[in-house]
Amino acid sequence: MEITPLAIPDVLLLTCLHLYDARGYFVETYTRRLADVAGLPHTFVRDCQSLSFKSGTIRGLHFQVPPQAQAKLVHVLRGSIYDVVVDLRIGSPTYGHWVAVTLTSIGKQLFVPRGFAHGFCTLEANTIVAYKTDGYYAPECEQGIAWDDPTLSIGWPVLPVGVIISDKDRNLGRFAEFISPFRY
């Protein structure tokens, strides 16, 4: 596995080794030994997956605040996504900055540390995204920031008029109004 820090160094892109033969491929997507080398959480406690029927579906920007903050390890099982991470850590040189990568079902995973908002836009119909978290879902700690926040100016690959989004995500607050509990 190749581990690459992104423009926000705590956010990591993990490239998995695929072993191909006439049947297809085999890939090891997670081992604790490689997680230790990469500095990932030792214990992921929850696996989740989402199916988005249409291209242009946005989910996010989501996070959980302390005491139930979560790190995530995200990968795509089918289709592709434009995956976005926003630094919410006060004092960080990249506070309020975002980084994005395109993930497909072949080879790459994104590690999203605690203290970051996460969201994605599907680039294909019937996209399935899977992720691990190092903490349990805690609705009382769940928060989010609007995907189209003007302060963040995220370069989403869709026009606002074509976006498919949940009512919950449509009503998320703005970055300028968010008082971050996260520290660098």
Q: Which of 62, 75, 82, 118 is catalytic?
A: 62
Q: Which of 75, 82, 118, 131 is catalytic?
A: 131
Verify whether residue 131 is a known catalytic residue.
yes
Tell which residue, 73, 51, 50, has the closest CA to residue 134. Answer: 73
Verify whether residue 62 is a known catalytic residue.
yes
State how far the Cα of 147 lies from the Cα of 144, in Å rounded to an integer.
9
State how far the Cα of 2 lies from the Cα of 25, in Å rounded to an integer.
18
Q: Where are any strands of DSSP class E within 72-138?
A: 72-78, 80-87, 98-104, 108-112, 116-122, 127-133
Active site residues: 62, 131
